[in-house]
Every structure is written in C-alpha cells, then in structure tokens.
Amino acid sequence: MSMQERIEEYFNTPARRAELVELTSRLVKIKSVRGDASPETPYGPGPAAALAEALRICQEQGFTTHNYENYVGTADLNGHETCLHILGHLDVVGEGTGWTVTEPYEPKEIDGMLYGRGACDDKGPVVCALLAMKAVRDLGFPLKSNVRLIMGTDEESGSSDLEYYYAREPYAPYAFTPDASFPVINTEKGRYSPQFTRRWAEETALPRVREFHGGFRVNVLPGEAQCVIAGLSAGQVEPLCTQAAAETGVTFTLEESGEDLRILAHGKGAHASLPEDGNNGITALLHLLALLPLAPCESTRALRALYTLFPHGDSAGKALGIAQSDEVSGPLTVCFSLLDLDGSGVSGQFDCRASLCANEENCKAVAEAALAKAGFTAEGSMEPGHHTPAEGPFIQTLLRSYETYSGRKGECLAMGGGTYVHHIPGGVAFGCDFPGFNGNMHGANEFMCLDDMLTACKIFTQAIAELCG
C-alpha cells in the first residue's frame, strides 16, 4: 500500500472526523481574546486558558509538551533534532456582531460545516496539524528529524509571543503556518497602520456630529459604525439615508432621543487584508454625513476631510495618493478600520497592506503628507513585506503534497494578510483554506468545512513524512 493510500485510509473514517470536531470544539469554546496582562498571563486569562487546553489535548495524544510562560506552547513528535516548525495560534479576534447560526463560543456543526470563533482562524487548523503529527506516528513512517507544533497566543495583536519564543529557541530549517490558504503563500505584503488625530476647542454650532464610533480592531474591516448628531431630526435625515444606502450598499437606521439623533450604519465585516469581502460601515457613514447640512465647524471639516481621503469603495488608496502594485505581490490595499470622535477631536487608524514595491518614500511619506494637508497628525512605522523564493525542496514538497490530495495544481501565491510566519526566515503559509473558500474569518458566523479540514490533515501528514523522513 502506498503512502497516499495509507494516509487516505487513516483519515477516511467517521471516528477521525468525530475526533476533528471534538478537539476543535474544545478550543473554540474558550474565549481567547486578548485581555489584561498579569505576570502569569501575558495576554490575559482567555489566551492562557486556550493554551492550557491545547497542551492538555497534545498530552492526551501522547506528545511531549512545553509551556513557555503562557506566551507559546509546543508539542514535539519525537526526540530528534527539529527540522520543521508548524506555527498556529490560539488567540482570536473579538466576537463583533451579526452572529446568527450560533453564538461565537458555542461551536455547532451544520451540513458539514463547523461554526464558531476560531474554527477557521486558527484553532481548527492547529488541530489539523496536530492530527497530522499523530497520523505520522500512528502509521509508523520512519523519521530522521522532529516536527514541533508551536501554538501561540498573540498572533492577532502583533505576534510578540513568537518574539518571546525565538529569543530563546532557534529557528528550524523549515517552517509553515496553517494560518491562511492553500496552495503555498510565499509572499506577504508589508503593513502600514498609522494612527492619526485632529483636535479642536469645544463647539456649540448646530447641526453637528457630537460622537462617532466605528471599528474595534485595526485588522478588522468594520461592518458597523454609528454617530450622534445634534440639531437634525429623523425626518430631515431619512431621505438622505435612502440615497446613501443606494450609493454604498450599506443600510442605515435612525434613533431619536431628545435633541439627539443616532445613526447606525450596517455593512459587512471582513478581514482588513481583504476589503473586497466586506462593506465598510465607517466609510459608508462618512459618505452619508457628507450629504447632510452640517454646520461649518471643525468637526464637520474633519469628517469631510476623511470622507475625501477615504471615499467609500476606495480600497486601493487612490484618494490618499498611495495606490500602487507590482507583479509579485499585487496591488496595495487600504482599509479604514477605526474612527472615534468626541467633543474635543477625532482619532482614527487605517490598515494598509503594502505591496513589495511600496516603501517609506512612496507610501508612508505620501500618506503622512496627505493627512497633514487635511489637518491630521499621523504616527506609525512601516513594516516590510515577506518573500520566500519558490525554488528548493521545502516549497516543492509542500506543493507536491497539496497536489496529491487536493487534485488541484500547486502554485505559490501572494497575499495581503500578514500570517504567522511574516518574520520567520524562509517561512511560508500553507493552508488550511482551499481556493474559493471564505470562512468569514474575523466576521460573524466564522466557519470551517470539515471535508477540507480532513484533506488538510492528509496534506500535512505527507508533508511531515517527507520533510522529516
């Protein structure tokens, strides 16, 4: 029996499928959003609890584990010298709104799909990697080296967990993360996410925007935003809401309270690296406000300046002056992800996924100049992109494993999202999403296809056996 036949037989059983669901569900049930740090829990109790459960699962499966002070945990396949690191993360973004299939931390299987926060990003893929390691051991494939599963707890907030780990442990010759999609992502765009502010004295002019709130994380495209207007009635605003809804595809609801009018924008959330997958509530609400007869005060001027710099639907950064593209990494993208306004000023942040051709001069300096001209002060550094050449046995082995079990052509791709190997020399993203799949990562009703997860298990199993054998 060939290696492929043995791997197929191993995973094509109801018991293996049930194990996949059970282990992933155990992790999804834990709200592992970053919280307040303590000496024992550097990212709060939630990520630490998820790590404890993951290590417990690894121990139940017979692997040797180690907890690096609740920054990361590891599981080793054997005692040989390590040649492969598989990096997955257990922290998740916040729940957001709009969940309908299930509650975020109540995993539910429906029609072959497993729903819950982290099912896709990245708890389900971590379990796939773990079960692949188990399969290599159970099937008795001869190995000359070790594979180490590294389970982190801060990927969504900057990956300082990996900084901690790699300050104490060496890099492996090979590294991949199941934190994106197949076939192989060997190019990741850089990132530029400056914070910008504009302040003013107390205002009394009417009508004006007294409050504006949108977004909850810089790497999440906000599906919803809201503002409070003083001096306008629902009757005055409603016809313009209809117009703005037709122009943006975002719906608006109105709530009157005394002399205040609250406007809520309802779009669609998405990952900030994929703005085309969502409909931005912040920029849609700015679009509506630009239509309203607001007083010519500082808050109005600031909001209309932002509307000019970040028009709804402009995910290329054209209005900001930084639109660009290259053959390897593709076009630069911009997502306006955070905005807050009160009586003293406004602050915000956008998430730019910068093409490899973008740099301090043609991206950062240009954006800062545009913001300064509009009266904003911007602060933020620019992170370079990541590229691993496709030639060589590592990537070729991954592509061959992918082709064997997917029946699709293997190729190297570029992406806007920064994966867990962005700072790992020679690292690539490898799974678990298949081309065309959208599991609502960072959005409501996040899910993963169980058949795809089982196929990923098979792919990882063969890759481990070949790379470490």
Cite the DSSP H helix spans in 41-147. 45-60, 123-138
Length of the chain: 469
Question: pLDDT value at position 418?
Answer: 76
Q: What is the pLDDT of residue 158?
A: 87
Is 358 found in the same domain as 402?
Answer: no
Q: Is 100 exposed, middle or buried (0-12, 13-18, 19+ CB in 10 A)?
A: exposed
Beta bridge partners of 239: none
Number of domains in the chain: 2
pLDDT of residue 258: 87
Domain, as residue range, for 149: 3-189+386-468
**pLDDT of 317:** 98
Q: Are 355 and 330 in contact (CB under 8 A)?
A: yes
Task: List, in sequence order, every beta strand (DSSP E) within 215-316.
Answer: 220-221, 224-230, 251-257, 260-266, 270-271
**For the chain, which residues score pLDDT lower than 70?**
none
Beta pairing, strands 72-76 & 64-68: antiparallel
C-alpha 85/C-alpha 98 separation (Å) is 36
Q: What is the pLDDT of residue 141?
A: 97
3 state SS of 458: helix
Q: Which two tokens stand for residue 313?
A: 């639907």
If asked whether residues 441 and 320 sit together in one domain, one would say no
Same domain? For 50 and 118 the reply is yes
Output the CA–CA distances (angstroms, integers) from residue 176 to 88, 229, 304, in the order listed.
9, 49, 44
pLDDT score for 271: 87
DSSP assigned state of 172: P
d(C-alpha 30, C-alpha 27), whole Å: 6
Both 267 and 397 in a single domain?
A: no
Q: Which two tokens stand for residue 404?
A: 């064997």
Q: Which of 383, 418, 451 is the last residue of a domain?
A: 383
d(CA 385, CA 169): 24
Domain boundary among 334, 364, 383: 383
**Residues 373 and 419 placed together within one structural domain of the fold:** no
The CATH number that applies at residue 349 is: 3.30.70.360
**Within this chain, do residues 439 and 402 fall inside the same structural domain, yes or no?**
yes
pLDDT value for 112: 97
Same domain membership, residue 197 and residue 174: no
Among 123, 24, 393, 78, which residue's Cα sits nearest to residue 401? 393
Q: Alpha helices of 29-138 — where are they, by DSSP H?
A: 45-60, 123-138
Amino acid at 365: A
Matching residue, tokens 């054997």: 78
Say if strands 412-415 and 184-188 run parallel, antiparallel, or are unpaired: parallel
CATH number at residue 119: 3.40.630.10
206 and 313 both lie in a single domain: yes
27 and 148, same domain (yes or no) = yes
Asked if 348 and 394 sit in the same domain, the reply is no
**pLDDT value for 69:** 98
140 and 13 together in one domain:
yes
Please say which residue of 352, 383, 414 terminates a domain: 383
**Selection from 347, 380, 385 nearest residue 364 by Cα:** 380
Which residue's structure tokens are 């016809």? 239
| N-to-C CA span, the chain | 18
Which tens digits make up the pLDDT trace of 246-262?
Answer: 999 999 999 999 889 99
Torsion of CA 314, 317, 319, 321, to 10 degrees: -170
For residues 122 and 90, give the distance between their C-alpha atoms in angstroms, rounded to a whole number: 6
At 419 the pLDDT is: 87
Does residue 240 sit in the same domain as residue 347? yes
